[in-house]
Amino acid sequence: MPVTAEYHKKGALFGTLSQSATMRHFGDINQAGKRMELMFARPEIETPSGLKAASVSTSIYSGSNFRTILPKLYTSPIETIFCPDPNQGLYCQLLFGLIQRDEVVKVGSLFASTVLRGIKFLENHWQELCYDIKTGRLSDWITDSGCRDAASLVMKPNPEQADLIENICNCKSWEGIVRKQWPKARYIRCVCTGVMRQYIAELEFYCRGLPLVSTSYACSEAICGINLEPLCKPCDVSYTFLPNMAYFEFLPVENYHDESIEMKRNDEDTELVDLVNVKVGQCYELVVSTCAGLYRYKVGDVLMVSGFYNNAPQFQFVERKNVILSVDQEKTSETDLFKAVTEAKALLDPLGFILTEYTSYVDTSSAPGHYVLFWEIKGKEGKNCKELDPKIMVECCSRMEESLHYTYKIYRKRNIIAALEIRVVKQGSFEALMDYYVSKGTSLSQYKKPSCIKSEEALKILDSRVIGKYFSPKSPL
């Protein structure tokens, strides 16, 4: 995406406005202490014509302004953010965050999935981290010289602090671990809306007692809106659009399951609506024209107008537009899938199991094709997934089918679609998926797990970790 100096200026203004909304509730955290934010940059590359190219987050972390404020406001040294190995970078960022735990007033990352990745990494490495803090020595597998140099400047043996952290991590339940580990934290900042909403329950468990705040809605293409009610529930968050950030237009989106699916007009025939003319309750696809040179660019996000702040429209994030499962004429959107998964996973909760990750794909290797869901399930308080009754998983398949839309059910009844399948994968499978995408160039800071798998290699990663397959026993209706 093109970026210009003016774009960066808008970014800075956006940051200030977004902070002013959180400041009303949490005070001026810049004065109160430091932020432990997990941040990952990727190396910049150069295009054949000599222009620099980088992910948006990398270009922010590379800016001189960010580098100036970093030591005062953040716990992570710049070397850990630019570490070429994200795992070494993550280990060191957690280490620095723990060493400065008494100063931390805010914990977060850009997206909820990265915060969870950090917590899970802590679950797997806390003994080693505590040992490093106790001895004042950095583990040998951290070979990055930048990280080692940064650590050598601050690390000294601190057995008392190591014991304190160890005692907290040693608890049977990790409920509320973030607040216990960083006792002065006032809130968790990360996007919890859109595809990230699937992580809310798990994050709430680990962060019990701290609000989860989605501060803003932005994309590489344009900066869009801020959340003026940081304390509202993650599922109710609306973003107030800032009309000075880009020229926003909106393409009305019809309901995918409308009777008129087949007759749906082309986007070219649909009139674009200006920001001032959007209607409450209507869904739109976002189209932006920016000072950096994009002209009527479709972002691919579907938003719903939820209200107005003065005259500025507010939007709830609905879904990514093109994430659609389809075997025949039916179309299943990201939201349809989310609703069905939410209904089905409710069967697991009372039995002491949590669905931690899911994704989907359409298997057409045999006719008729069918929907496949990959589920990663975790037992609460040391429970083992092997204890999960297969009958419950079969019921989850049925519940999902019952919760899908009318067209799906009709097609299923007519055997145009075969029985829905859930493939349970072993712990860590979705982390392996994330590692795969990061190895292919995705920025870990901006990683969003696909709701629907399209790549053969990604599919292989999940398929090779399947520990159980379950099918819906009967057609819904």
Which chain residues interact with ligand AMP by CB under 6 A? 56, 191, 193-194, 214, 217-220, 299, 301, 317, 320, 446
Closest CB to ligand AMP among residues 150, 444: 444
Closest CB to ligand AMP among residues 93, 227: 227
CA distance linking residue 73 with residue 70, whole number of Å: 5
CA distance linking residue 207 with residue 189, whole number of Å: 11
Report yes or no: 15 and 57 within 8 Å, Cβ to Cβ. no
CB of 111 to ligand AMP, least distance (A): 8
Residue 227's identity, in one-letter code, is N
The secondary structure of 390-410, three-state, reads: HHHHHHHHHHHHHHCCHHHHH
Closest CB to ligand AMP among residues 144, 249: 249
CB of 14 to ligand AMP, least distance (A): 12
Closest CB to ligand AMP among residues 17, 299: 299
Radius of gyration over alpha carbons of the chain, in Å? 23
CB of 73 to ligand AMP, least distance (A): 22
Report yes or no: 372 and 361 within 8 Å, Cβ to Cβ. yes
Q: CA of 70: how far to CAs of 54, 66, 76, 168, in Å?
A: 20, 6, 8, 28
Closest CB to ligand AMP among residues 155, 195: 195
Tokens representing 372 are: 């496949």
Tokens representing 460 are: 């292989």
- Could you count the other beta carbons within 10 Å of the beta carbon of residue 12? 12
Closest CB to ligand AMP among residues 214, 472: 214
Burial per residue of 282-317, b for 16 or more beta-carbon CB atoms within 10 angstroms, e otherwise: ebbbbbbebbbebeebebebbbbbbeeeeeebbbbb
CB of 299 to ligand AMP, least distance (A): 5
Closest CB to ligand AMP among residues 57, 472: 57
Closest CB to ligand AMP among residues 95, 299: 299
CB of 364 to ligand AMP, least distance (A): 27
CB of 217 to ligand AMP, least distance (A): 4
CB of 27 to ligand AMP, least distance (A): 23
CB of 450 to ligand AMP, least distance (A): 12
- Burial status of residue 70 (CB atoms within 10 A of its CB: 0-12, 13-18, 19 or more): middle
Please name the helix (run of DSSP H) or strand (run of DSSP E) that holds residue 377, with its range, or none. Answer: strand 370-379
Which residue has the closest beta carbon to ligand AMP? 194
CA distance linking residue 101 with residue 86, whole number of Å: 22
CA distance linking residue 448 with residue 128, whole number of Å: 28
Closest CB to ligand AMP among residues 129, 303: 303
Sheet holding 34-38, edge to edge: 34-38, 104-111, 187-191, 212-213
CB of 114 to ligand AMP, least distance (A): 11
